Chain A
Amino acid sequence: MINPHPGLPELQYVKPATLQEASKFLADNAGVAKPYSGGTDSFVRLRDGVLKLDYLVDIKGLEGTKELSFDPQKGLTIGAAVTMNQVASHPDVLKHYPNLAEAAASVASYQLRNRATIVGNICNASPAGDTIGTCMLLDGVLKVHGVDGVREVPLNSFFLAPGRTVLKPGDVVIAVHLPVPPKGLVGTYKKLGRNRIGDLSIVGVAVLGYPTNESASGYRFRIALASVAPVPFESFKAEGVLSGKKITSELIDEAAVATMDSVTPIDDVRGSARYRKQMVKNLTREALTEVWTKLSK
């Protein structure tokens, strides 16, 4: 029986002035303090009693967290306090990473996206996180400030289990960095919810592709999935299918089936495992077809 608190339970709002101060406070209060940016996930879990905290540590004023910048040599940096809407509407994101803008714009509602952040989406490590797959495919790396200073953590080694990551007490993610995208990149995010838009994903499929001499097909495709595995999942098996041969609609079908075969989703309140598997196949096919059509133009 879920019987949440009407408002937020008692807690303290802490606003550190520096990253060092934030990391120290979080480390000193391990288990009862959490970094706080948009709060869209934490508030709900605090009300439900799933998350119990004494302190919300606001990281929005800390150095680097508000940065949203693109460097043609280095790529895109998205600070931890940068909202989904800021990302989705930023000209450089729309130009160089339109698939990320698409994924960000698919999250919840406009007003929620004014609070929700990409870094928050990543740190919550929900299997349903809509922007995580795209950030993974774009080889995202997190910049983390811990008690021992700053370190970099690639997204492909960040997630451990639903809601669990490699972050340690005292860690504050400052930003996620996406390198310069491969030349000719085309990507998309296909999301299926119960409502037309705005829902959590039953299945989410992020796909990108770009021309390359390194594969026999002349292209490299990458496929990441949401809501069908305990952690955001990249289907290397299906990507392999698409690297060896000339791309045809039959090969795309084969890759879609391989994607489906690579996951073992669960039944939950949003959808059955059986439906999810079918949708992985169909949405992957749809996404690959769309990307391939654009690439081959």
Chain B
Amino acid sequence: MTLKTITLTVNDMVETVDVPQNMTLLQMIREKLSLTGTKNGCAAGECGACTVLMNGEPVNSCMVLAAECEGANITTVEGLAKAGKLSKLQDTIIQAGGVQCGFCTPGMLISATALLKRNPNPTDTEVRSAIVGNLCRCTGYVRIVDAIKMAAK
């Protein structure tokens, strides 16, 4: 199978990568760029652990082909903290205690970051709807929802 060469921006860095044509964006991020913060939980667009921002909008990176990402702008969990300073949401999820095993956390942070960007003052229902595609088995979502509301204030 021939490789495809693509150039894209990931966490503000321009990257040129040779990717197999059946490679997903998730696989590219983890295997080609070694950004292993983004997780694979189902490879079927259901669990949300692989959520990244693509051109500012959250997507399941397991549902995107790397080959179609020419020119795309991707943000992963590693790109949320700027110059060593945690984002507000990273801070509030720590304060609220919204992290347990941590496997859903990267995707959860990305979904919540996107929510607060499009809706800075979400209601409880809006917060919960925004993360319906991010499964968490540890927390019961209680402190995750708290953290998102704290960050919105």
Contacts and interface: CB of A to CB of B under 8 A. Distances in A.
Whether A and B touch (Cβ < 8 Å) is answered with: yes
A38 B54 CA distance: 13
Contacts of B111: 110-111
Interface of B: 1-2, 4, 21-24, 27, 43-45, 48, 51, 54, 57-60, 62-65, 67-68, 111, 114-115, 129-130, 132-134
Interface string A128-139: 000000000000
A39 B65 contact: yes
Interface stretch (A2-10, A158-166, A214-222, A262-270): A2-10
Contacts of A8: 22-24, 65
Contacts of B43: 4, 6-7, 47
Contacts of B45: 40, 43-44, 108, 112, 115
A39 B57 contact: no
Interface core residue of B48, B115, B132 (most chain A CB under 10 Å): B132
A214 to B, nearest CB: 39
Nearest to B51: A111
Top 4 A-B pairs ranked by shortest CB distance?
A109-B133, A13-B67, A198-B132, A8-B22
Interface residues on A, range: 20 to 34
Main secondary structure of the interface of A (DSSP, over half): loop
A11 B44 contact: no
Interface of A: 4, 6-13, 15, 38-40, 43-44, 47, 56, 58, 60, 85, 108-112, 114-115, 195, 197-198
B24 A111 contact: no
